[in-house]
Structure 1
Amino acid sequence: MPADPWIVLAAAGLEGVLGYPARLHRLVPHPVAWIGAALRRLEALNRGGDIPRRLAGVFVLLLVAGTAALAGWLIGRLVDGWALILTIAAGSLGLAARSLYAHVAAVSRALNTPINLPAARAAVGMIVGRDTADLDEAGVSAAALESLAESFNDGVVAPLFWFLLGGLAGLFAYKAVNTADSLIGHREEPWRCFGWAAARADDLMNLIPARIAGALIALVAGRGWRTMLRDAGRHASPNSGWPEAAMAGALGVQLGGPASYDGAPHARPTFGEGPRPSPLDLRRGLGLYLRACAVLAAALAVGGLAWPR
């Protein structure tokens, strides 16, 4: 069932102000950690031949996403008198606008004068999967910008989209699918068959939001549309290329390119035609991110005004 845009906006505002405090996380781990723990326990089903492992992966995805959706539905239906408050509080748990900004801003601060490259590498290593020990300023800036663009979709636009479309059940189902894709949706063994369902479901659930995310970045920048439309399809993912290419075009820089993962070099496509990004470009990217979040908030407010009462 669709959610009232005012409720979604309230949840987004709560997350933007408070996030999920580290002290609270130490006492009560974030629900995404619960999903991760469940997936790690269910990894025991990843055995046998290709077909049994693929079927096991489908079962695991349905179990985890279905349980998450049921939890969201119950919060909104079975808690008399507290449903609105709990919906807003629980909805904030599915969003990551504040934490994303904080992680990328930490990289940016380390690249400010005086530059602390080891600290910048450590900070960007918290949000990317590639090897960071040998990255220079441009490499760190590019990695942070790529993560910012992609996570703008995964942590902000897509959760808001599914919250609006399906209420807490839709939001929680999306977070479960996205977490499953991050943990088991890999092409390499031993995940290729077991994680197939998680990867395909995540692709499907991000199909529309990723394009919205890319459009928002280009909109607030007033440029980047041509680069996004031209380069988005170069990405191995059907979705990640949209916000990344939009960010490259919006800043007039080149993102992507070769990277190393676990010591193994990987050839990756490039997005954009400009120079490699600088620390200044990273700060500009953070500004675009904040403006895009503001546009989303304004759109939710307009939706709230038009929502039938």
Structure 2
Amino acid sequence: MRDDAAASGSASATMLAQESGTIDEAILLPPIPPNSENGERKWARDYFSIAAGIVSVPSYSGSDERNILPGFYLRGRVSGFAFSTRGTNLQVDLVRQRRGEKTDVKLGPIINLRSDRTGRIKDPQVEALGEKKLAIEAGVMAGVTHTGLVTSGYDQLGFRVVALKDISGRHGSWAISPTIDYGTPLSKRAYVGVSASVNLYGKGFGGYYYDIDPAGSAASGLPVYDRAGRKATVGKYTLGMAGAYALSGDLRKGFVLIGGAQYGRMLGRFSDSPIVSIAGSRNQWLAGGGVAYQF
């Protein structure tokens, strides 16, 4: 299989990573395995992958109500430089991938639009707290992936960290998400992957999205809460799986059916916030599917 074998399989995970506009719950974005074809090209081959579908997500992070949203995905590589969208963010890998490399180091910039609680809030009490403004975040992603580990010469184990800082003056804080993932093609037609991540947030993030001041309490009927913004904390963990099946008979090209699901659990000070413990749920589920096209 060539170096783009896993890209279509990762599209379902990428679409699911939207969760109300956040990226902190990345299910799976497997790196591209090395090119096994003979040739004289120095860099791994160019490719593009696009996908569209629908996802079912909580109406805000911590909600027990759901929204059905469109999901989109774009991924590619040109002259060894890879780029991808994940939900509402764009990231670029500035470390060029050479042809035939089994260990791929990644490092590059990322920009994200965080739209949690900016609209489509179904719970009347949380809606009464008022909508939040769109946050623009910028940061760095870094990671390493090794190809050819367990089941075949094309399975992949990866570790990555995404660090983001608000540059729009909304929550004025930061978010860090370390993720480990594993994916493998089962054949030229089928692909499966799993991942796990933990999400850490600065105190400004917790205060902006999860604390409730006296005015908000009076408007919503929810109790005053100020613990989420007292200090940086782990706010959530996630476990996910994704899969793909090639309609063309080959995951590396043509149309591919994609799907996936994710379970998340709100933790600590975030889970104790009334918008979660009273108006929402600590358990967070996502699911989605669609069609990808790779060329």
What is the TM-score when the length of structure 2 is the normalising length? Answer: 0.28
Alignment TM-score, normalising by the size of structure 1: 0.27
Greater strand share, 1 or 2? 2
